[in-house]
Amino acid sequence: MVPNQLNEVSNYSKKLPKQYSTICNLLQVEINKNLKKSSSRIYYSMPVWFIDENPIVSYKATPKSVNVMFWSGQDFKESELTPLGKFKAAQIKYASPSEVDVIKLRRWLKKSMKHIWDYKNIRTGLKKIK
């Protein structure tokens, strides 16, 4: 990973209110620890982790919560993840650091490595890679 990209992702949380900054820092640590073969950068104004140029997981702070999106999350078959958009994404929202269940987060990160859709070539049609 290019050092500037790592700094961009780390700097994202520095601009947020304390509770959201704490959530984002926790997410960044867990994602980096559990997705060792990924790279991260700011993409569409939020931190996104990629495997082979395909987005896997991202998060974004909104006025009400930090939304964590698993780009292939609908394939996880997890009731706590809400389907998002017209493709395969699903999300969970955290309003406080105490809401983050690290055990579940790690399970979803593990699933995110097993369920990868080819978003990098989406113009030719969304296809499952794994």
pLDDT (average), residues 68-97: 93
**Residue 9, Cα to own-chain centre: how many angstroms?**
12
The CA distance from 118 to 120, in Å, is: 6
Q: pTM of this prediction?
A: 0.85
Question: How does pLDDT run across 10-32, given as a tens digit for each residue?
Answer: 899 998 999 999 999 999 999 99
> What are the structural domains, with CATH classification, of the chain?
3-124 (3.90.1150.200)
